[in-house]
Amino acid sequence: MKAAVRTLQRARTAARGALLWGYEQRLAREVAAHGRLPRHLGLILDGNRRYARAAGIQRELGHSFGADKAHEVLQWCLELGIPAATIWVLSTDNASRDKDEIAHILMLLEQEARNLATDPRIHANGVRVRAIGQHDQFPPTVLAALRDLEEKTAHYQGMRLNIAVGYGGREEIVDAVKAHLLSQARAGAGLDEVARSLRPDDISAHLYTADTPDPDFIIRTSGEIRLSGFMLWQSVYSEYYFCDVYWPGFRRVDFLRALRDFQGRDRRFGK
């Protein structure tokens, strides 16, 4: 009797898997047929800790699985030909978390930066990778790994991949304002003159992502419905998609659903 029940359970699992695979293939065809994809995709990778808690595993493993998922999603972006993506790995607000957790995240960041620097996909597809944010307090080995990754991909003209780490949207705007003021001061402009002539484009020109189009689509996992400071300046006309699944559990079918939703929207840019 027990053997028969197990056989039935396996058959049901296989049937569900086949149905999901078929649905995923249909979604892929629909997305490809429509053709309109984000020029710049923003990804807020949220829910690693809650994923670990729900799975009954160590908190650090949630971050490790999240790093593996980021590699997987990079492959999906490459397959679809998405020109630019920014993934938010670590925020400035996260700095107040447990020191052991932050140390583990930074260890993963160093490890993944070194992996990307030698990843055949990066070089075959000409992916230019850059870390954006405030990194002054990072360990020297992490900074060296990020610098090596940036240098090895700096000449590429393919997909742009921004890794937002030690990143906060308010901090980015403050840094952009400071950079503009300093550049004007070096040119001999007085403060009154700078204030009178200041335009939004002056700030945009000094953002971390100044050479990347503003994100037209931002996906956040874990069910939280907020930006939490992600690309505050650049996201003024972005479309948003909030997904209930935790980041390590984010499937290709979830990704394709999000893109299909984006393709069905009428973007009016405030008009």
Flag whether 226 is marked binding: yes
Please indicate if the annotation marks 101 as binding a ligand. no
Q: Quick check: is 94 catalytic?
A: yes
81 is in an annotated binding site: no
Buried b (16+ CB within 10 A) or exposed e, 16-35: eeeeeeeebeebbeebeeee
Instruction: Judge whether 267 is annotated as a binding position.
Output: no
Q: Is 186 annotated as a binding residue?
A: no
252 in a known ligand binding site: no
63 is an annotated ligand-binding site residue: yes
Helix (H) or strand (E) holding 128: strand 128-132
CB 162 within 8 A of CB 133: no
Q: What is the dihedral of CA 216, 222, 228, 234, to 10 degrees?
A: -10
- Active site (annotated) includes residue 202: no
- 197-219 burial, b if ≥16 CB within 10 A, otherwise e? eeeeebbeebbbbeebebbbbbb
Query: Is 239 annotated to bind ligand?
Result: yes
Q: At CA 231, angle to CA 128 and CA 88, rounded to 5?
A: 60
Tell me: is residue 36 an annotated ligand-binding position. Answer: no
- Does the annotation place 115 within a ligand binding site? no
Binding residues for substrate, as ranges, are 47-50, 59, 63, 91-93, 97, 220, 226-228
Q: Provide the annotated active-site residues.
A: 46, 94
Binding residues for Mg(2+), as ranges, are 46, 239
